[in-house]
Structure 1
Amino acid sequence: MAAQIESEHFSIDIDNTTGAIVSISSPRSEGDMNWVSSPDNAPWQPLGSRWGSGYVDLGADFLHRAHWNNPSVISSDHTSVVLEYKLGALIIKVSRSLKDDGKTFHESYSFNNAGTEDLDLDGPQGTSIAIFTPFNDHYPSTKDALQRRAHAHVWANGGSNAWVKMTQMGGHRPDLGLVVTKGSLRGYSIESRDRITMSNTRGVFLLHPVIGKLAPNEKKTIEWSMFWHNDWDDFFEQCAQLSNQFIHFHIPCYTLVGDEVAALQMTGAVNEKTTVNGQSVVYEGKGCYTAKSHTLKGSIEVKTPGIEHSARVYLNRLESVEELVASRVRFIIDKQQVYDPGTPRDGAYAVFDNQAQLISSWDTDNDRNLGRERVGMGILMARWLREHPGDDKARNSLEKYYNFVSEELQDQTGYVLNGPGSCEKRLYNWPWVMQLHIAVGLTDLDTTGIDGDESPLERFEKTMESFYNEGGSDLYPIGLPVLESLRYLQNFGTKNLLERAKELFLNHGQRILNRGVDYPPFEVNFEQSIVAPAAIMLLELYRFTRDPKWLNGAELQMKTLLRFQGKQPEYRLHDIAIRHWDGYWFGKDRMWGDTFPHYWSTLDAVALHHYSYVKADEASKRRADGIILGNLALFAPDGSASCAWIYPLSVNGRTGHYKDPYANDQDWALNHLLYLKQDDEYCQKGHEKTFMDKI
């Protein structure tokens, strides 16, 4: 090692060849948690993308990516190290030191133009300069993730108000935080995502500083401090103490509807001269300033005199949630339903390519076929029809679709096909078809004449029995309709069928209860949509049975689940769970990298919704509603939609920060919106005396 910087709070190891950091750890913590990716915990990571290495676009002579990774050490001791890199006329000086009696670790990156001509480091995509910051956010296995890995909640699009909160996946504290103390960040990118690393890593992170144009002999700097903390409140408090340009935003909701007033409460680097999109702020006392407006939306600039760069927050605004759902329903009917009489495809809901303005019939991969996640469109249609029984277009569309599912996605035993004609077993598909049968059963849809002439109730029973006969009790199923099924059977089933469903669900729940946080791997080793189904199932069992063991088990699941959520001041990110592979598997462009928002993050909303009812917790209800509203960014007013918002500025060098062109499986967000709305209505009618009776 060229240097080891250490105190009783920090231990930092630096590679003697590249000058990159290969380990950041806390001597005070238990275990061997390294908070950065290194040869030991991420051996697949390229040598040139270790922490503190980077690149800059110096033009064609440098192939547009000149990397700094071969330094000369200027000085070092046990508390600091200074390294220098030279790339043509650009000199990069990296300084690292412990401050505040060793409690904080400080990094500074200075860029100096030693040449005689201007250097423009501000490319059109904002990615012409990058510092590698490979946070240890990987899922080799559940046990390893819960012990040795951390969720990286990155806020790099906030300009001068940029930070990263790392949260240890298993809740073993302290956690590591980073706050920018000088300069500004434009965003972040992801690299090293491919068919080798697959879905079990978020890849390598790159932070993009705002440097811009450097005149001869001009120098600009980006600096940040790292520190240990315990929770979000502690994190934000320390950010404010360490950075004189940090702003903590208190925003009730990041997605506004109609003429709702946006209320931005701010503490930290704000004063009476601060402006929000040019508007003055109002002092509320206790260091808090507020900006209110009916027009605030999109990118909002917060400028405080004396701070070189501005901060940014992002709000979304919708005209009407009801109109948005109505437009989406109409779009599905008009553009995403297959009309091909006499063929097995007739009536199916399909993936739509917003670029070609056609159903993508040429793309037949499993994640784009006529079954699987696309069933969510059918459930949405049924929930919509339940609320709008006079919508004849929706009724006719759903009749055709339900016929398609009953004849082409299931056989007479209730077995759910992976797609028309495919008997490949994928147990995730069964709960969605179960949901469809219930949702259709709750409408007045005429299902006579459909293959087998069975009622939705009979089809539900067959699907449920088939699911458990095929091994469903070992799955952590996304969307298993436990509470909705049991209520449905209470009203429309027989006593024997209700008891049978309870038996199956209770046995399944007991398996999940027994395992605790020992989650089995499924399509990804460890992910939010493994933990969320466990929390939801236990909460739904509690709501139906009132047996406290289910609530006790759910509390443990909720703690693990909520660590996937960040608190960035942006509607696509705030409380939205980390997901980072869906763009590749479900999108047209097959882009890896973070997908914010992603519709399965609304599983967290379902869990928080149930939790709010059993705990009489208004804050959880508001949080659930905020997650649902955040996901409405996936839908446009004309009813078109995208299956994934690729959030990073770039992924593997490809331009990001855009909606993927495919409308594929995002309608689960709207399905959950209507499900939670209908559950609220059920409780408000007095069918369940819980949360609504206490507020």
Structure 2
Amino acid sequence: MRFVSADPTRKYLIDSAVDWHTVEHYWGAGFVVTGAGSAHWDAAERTQAGDGGAALIQTYDLAPAGLRLNVTRTGGAKYAERYEWTNITDRPLIITELGIQTPFNDRYPSAKQALAECVNAHVFTGGGWSWVIAEPMCGTDVFNRCLCLKLTEGALAGYSIESRNQNTGSDVRGHIVLQVTDYARNPQAFGGQPTIALEPGASYVLSWELDWYVDRDAFLAHYPEPAHFSSFAETVGRHIHVATPLPVSAITDGLDIEASNGGYYLTASEPGTYYVRIGTGPDAAKTEVLFHRSLQDTVVSRAAYIASHQIAADRPGSMSGAFVPVDTRTGLRADDGGWPDWTDGSERIGMAVMLQKAINQEWLGADYQGIVDRWFAFVKDWLINDRYEMRRGSSQPKSTFGGRLYDVPWMVEFCCDHYRATGDAADLYLAVDLLERLNELGGERFLSISYGETVEYLSRLLDKVGRANEADQLRKRVVASANHFISVGEDLPAHEVAYEQSVVAPLVNLMLSAYRFTGNADYLAAVEERLDWLLSFGGPQPDCRLYGISIRHWDGYWFGINRMFGDVFPHYWSALTATALVRLPAELHTPETNRLADAILRENMANYNADGSATCAFVFPSSVDGRAANVADPLVNDQDWHLAMWLRLIQNEGLGCAEG
């Protein structure tokens, strides 16, 4: 099945020409497990016209599972599907697994092709309140509309992902499977998976409809929500208001619910995520909310955990100052063994940036400055060579110095923060040398995360100490970089992933920096266009792990100890979208951009535990390639960039931290 929009080049479903897209994953295929056995369906046993020829009815023999499936597909103003599973045995059956393939074309063949042909699939499986928005990666307009699936009967308890392996890698989200239940593989997923009891001759029915909408707001306006949440993440001690005429109850222990006029107040005394039910019966709606500690309390507890568990103190010499990933189950560090995403460099720089910013914010005491200074000594001895090039970790070959450009702006940001704490001019000299070498290595044509913001930060410091010429040269480099990326348009170069949110967010921030430096309206126009690309990555799902959170589906494999591909929600780089929204000029700032930025920053607090430990990747689907997921990876690794970015916005952009 293929849906054709006003733009015929847009492929909303994975094309059969894609070699890993096999018949088992075509639209409407699926699988079931019962007490009698299991079965797949893809080819219909019988096809016939429905009443008046308006519908097509296909019958599938699922005898090994004790079932017959009739699928009724109806065209017209809207496309509708009705799935009916009937118990054909003479005894009761319990369905413990039931999934339907919906292969939305969410993948990154290249930036240009993804923007022209592919979609971001925003999936919400909230029981009887379930839908999918397949949104063009370039955003929506008269030619690029959303293809939306709305559940009309039955309930979806979760979704799973298939075809995630080394063959599909990081550029493919995989096949999306909508799950009536994933109980057989992961009974605890999404607050608990149901089972479905069928007496002999009885049936279970699931129906949905698909239609085109000009944008996500138009779809949501046509699909009234059973409840409206004031937010999906709040600080412990505050409340979330749920406006609904339906009864609201807690699925997860520890959530307090108090009736109010027009709805309910949700509160919790302990930080964590909580599942809540709206309505009653098997088709009731459900979703997840988060209550978190304040930003300051979270930073302080993370700092204490880093100091106690994540310093490689047993190593010799200056290597003892390094920060390393740790398995939270045992407290043992994860020795990288040459695996770049577990090294003592690269993303682990975020721990040092976060700590130094918290020290400068006077949230941490002087003893932490010594920890940070020892880390800085390690970096200068092991991660930076005499040509001002960086490598990803002390275990990496010397031949890799200068091979990864991402790390340089992060190190420059740390140098700026360290200078603010110590007043040591050598920090600024090192920052300038690192950036100049970055540009020599091609930094102007590479979308390093926080490059524009870091140059803004460093150039302000240089201006204050009388080094205005150097500051001006760095600003000119940013403008030249922005000009280059305007010239290439949608044809962005591949980075570590062919196309992703953490390429587009730095692109938007780069244009914002160029606009700040020059006031040239061309950069503002470039921001507006690319902001649509960026916001398309995050959907409007009413869930504390999903609302506004950008799709990322590979970090659990590269950074986690479980080595699991699959959607990571929330991933800390989703906060990059918040940085762009906060930095928007007055011409583009709205109450909605502020609200969305706040939501993204708060929702990422789900990754931190009460004891100061954390997870680098919460793999969200109920299962991935049959392996149970909806679980936090036990490795505490690189997630502190979220805290560092939030502190950056407070210190450099004037964002109020309040109780958050």
Q: Is TM-score (shorter-chain normalized) higher than 0.5? A: yes
Q: Equivalent residue of 1:442, what SS?
A: helix
TM-superposed CA distance for 1:139, in Å, is: 1.2
TM-superposed CA distance for 1:518, in Å, is: 2.4
Instruction: From 47, 55, 63, give the equivalent of 1:74.
Output: 47
TM-score, normalised with respect to structure 1: 0.86
* Mapped contact 1:189–1:207 kept (Cα < 8 A): yes
Q: 1:567-606 counterparts in 2 under 5 A?
A: 567-606=540-579
TM-superposed CA distance for 1:602, in Å, is: 0.6
* Mapped contact 2:25–2:103 kept (Cα < 8 A): yes
TM-superposed CA distance for 1:654, in Å, is: 0.6
TM-superposed CA distance for 1:199, in Å, is: 1.0
TM-superposed CA distance for 1:354, in Å, is: 1.1
Q: 1:82-101 counterparts in 2 under 5 A?
A: 82-88=57-63, 89-98=66-75
TM-superposed CA distance for 1:613, in Å, is: 5.1
Q: Equivalent residue of 1:358, what SS?
A: coil
* Mapped contact 1:351–1:360 kept (Cα < 8 A): yes
Residues of 2 paired with 1:90 and 1:220: CA distance? 10
* Mapped contact 2:336–2:342 kept (Cα < 8 A): no
Corresponding residue for 2:411?
A: 433
Q: Which amino acid aligns with 1:634?
A: N
**Residues 1:257 and 1:493: Cα distance change in structure 2 (over 3 Å):** farther
Instruction: From 195, 207, 212, give the equivalent of 1:228.
Output: 212
Corresponding residue for 1:148?
A: 117
Corresponding residue for 2:445?
A: 474
Corresponding residue for 2:184?
A: none
Residues of 2 paired with 1:493 and 1:508: CA distance? 25
Corresponding residue for 2:4?
A: 25
Instruction: From 490, 494, 497, give the equivalent of 1:524.
Output: 497
Instruction: From 28, 33, 36, give the equivalent of 1:57.
Output: 33
Corresponding residue for 1:16?
A: none
Note the alpha carbon deviations across 1:497-528, whole angstroms, 9 max, x for none. 11221121221121122223322211111111
Note the alpha carbon deviations across 1:287-308, whole angstroms, 9 max, x for none. xx4322434961111116xx75
TM-superposed CA distance for 1:553, in Å, is: 1.2
Residues of 2 paired with 1:180 and 1:322: CA distance? 41
Residues of 2 paired with 1:183 and 1:646: CA distance? 26
Note the alpha carbon deviations across 1:415-461, whole angstroms, 9 max, x for none. 1122225331111121111111112112127x6xxxxxx71101101
**Residues 1:178 and 1:477: Cα distance change in structure 2 (over 3 Å):** same
Q: Does residue 189 of the first structure (1) align with residue 170 of the second (2)?
A: no
Corresponding residue for 1:11?
A: none
Residues of 2 paired with 1:433 and 1:516: CA distance? 29
Instruction: From 256, 268, 284, give the equivalent of 1:310.
Output: 284
TM-superposed CA distance for 1:363, in Å, is: 4.2
Q: Equivalent residue of 2:47, what SS?
A: strand
Note the alpha carbon deviations across 1:635-660, whole angstroms, 9 max, x for none. 11211011111000000111000101
Instruction: From 132, 143, 155, give the equivalent of 1:164.
Output: 132
TM-superposed CA distance for 1:614, in Å, is: 5.5
Larger RCO (CA within 8 A; separation ≥ 6): 2
**Residues 1:341 and 1:149: Cα distance change in structure 2 (over 3 Å):** closer
* Mapped contact 1:179–1:225 kept (Cα < 8 A): yes
* Mapped contact 1:276–1:291 kept (Cα < 8 A): no
Q: 1:132-147 counterparts in 2 under 5 A?
A: 132-147=101-116
TM-superposed CA distance for 1:600, in Å, is: 0.6
Q: Equivalent residue of 1:355, what SS?
A: coil
Corresponding residue for 1:176?
A: 147
TM-superposed CA distance for 1:31, in Å, is: 2.1
Q: 1:545-624 counterparts in 2 under 5 A?
A: 545-611=518-584, 615-624=588-597
Residues of 1 paired with 2:514 and 2:433: CA distance? 21
Residues of 2 paired with 1:405 and 1:672: CA distance? 21
Q: Which amino acid aligns with 1:146?
A: L
Note the alpha carbon deviations across 1:19-48, whole angstroms, 9 max, x for none. xxx32224xx132333222313x2311221
TM-superposed CA distance for 1:239, in Å, is: 2.3
Corresponding residue for 2:190?
A: none
TM-superposed CA distance for 1:387, in Å, is: 1.1
* Mapped contact 2:345–2:383 kept (Cα < 8 A): yes
* Mapped contact 1:120–1:212 kept (Cα < 8 A): yes
TM-superposed CA distance for 1:681, in Å, is: 3.5
Q: Equivalent residue of 1:443, what SS?
A: helix
Instruction: From 199, 213, 217, give the equivalent of 2:201.
Output: 217
Unaligned runs of 5+ in 1: 1-21, 123-127, 241-246, 284-288, 448-453, 685-695
Corresponding residue for 1:199?
A: 170
Q: 1:225-624 counterparts in 2 under 5 A?
A: 225-240=209-224, 247=225, 249-266=227-244, 271=245, 274-277=247-250, 289-295=262-268, 298-303=274-279, 309-340=283-314, 342-343=316-317, 345-361=319-335, 363-388=337-362, 391-420=365-394, 421-422=396-397, 423-424=399-400, 425-444=403-422, 455-480=426-451, 481-492=454-465, 494-611=467-584, 615-624=588-597
* Mapped contact 1:249–1:569 kept (Cα < 8 A): no
**Residues 1:389 and 1:229: Cα distance change in structure 2 (over 3 Å):** closer
* Mapped contact 2:509–2:580 kept (Cα < 8 A): yes
Q: Which amino acid aligns with 1:162?
A: S
* Mapped contact 2:300–2:363 kept (Cα < 8 A): no
Note the alpha carbon deviations across 1:340-367, whole angstroms, 9 max, x for none. 3634522010011112211112543011
Note the alpha carbon deviations across 1:239-265, whole angstroms, 9 max, x for none. 24xxxxxx2544332111132121123
TM-superposed CA distance for 1:280, in Å, is: 8.0
Residues of 1 paired with 2:249 and 2:464: CA distance? 54
TM-superposed CA distance for 1:393, in Å, is: 2.5
Q: Equivalent residue of 1:163, what SS?
A: strand
**Residues 1:130 and 1:438: Cα distance change in structure 2 (over 3 Å):** same
Corresponding residue for 2:90?
A: 116
Q: Which deviates further from its counterpart, 459-468 or 542-551?
A: 542-551
Q: Equivalent residue of 1:164, what SS?
A: strand
Residues of 1 paired with 2:47 and 2:316: CA distance? 77
Q: Equivalent residue of 1:624, what SS?
A: helix
* Mapped contact 1:611–1:617 kept (Cα < 8 A): no
Residues of 2 paired with 1:76 and 1:233: CA distance? 35
TM-superposed CA distance for 1:578, in Å, is: 0.6
**Residues 1:389 and 1:564: Cα distance change in structure 2 (over 3 Å):** closer
Note the alpha carbon deviations across 1:4-26, whole angstroms, 9 max, x for none. xxxxxxxxxxxxxxxxxx32224
* Mapped contact 1:274–1:280 kept (Cα < 8 A): no
Residues of 2 paired with 1:677 and 1:553: CA distance? 26
* Mapped contact 1:49–1:132 kept (Cα < 8 A): yes
* Mapped contact 1:137–1:152 kept (Cα < 8 A): yes
Identity %: 29
Note the alpha carbon deviations across 1:525-547, whole angstroms, 9 max, x for none. 11111111000111123234333
**Residues 1:108 and 1:683: Cα distance change in structure 2 (over 3 Å):** closer
* Mapped contact 2:23–2:42 kept (Cα < 8 A): no
* Mapped contact 1:593–1:651 kept (Cα < 8 A): yes
**Residues 1:390 and 1:201: Cα distance change in structure 2 (over 3 Å):** closer
TM-score, normalised with respect to structure 2: 0.90
Unaligned runs of 5+ in 2: 182-194, 251-255
* Mapped contact 1:81–1:96 kept (Cα < 8 A): yes
TM-superposed CA distance for 1:150, in Å, is: 0.8
Corresponding residue for 1:36?
A: 13
Instruction: From 65, 68, 81, give the equivalent of 1:107.
Output: 81
* Mapped contact 2:248–2:276 kept (Cα < 8 A): no
Q: Equivalent residue of 1:316, what SS?
A: strand
Corresponding residue for 1:18?
A: none
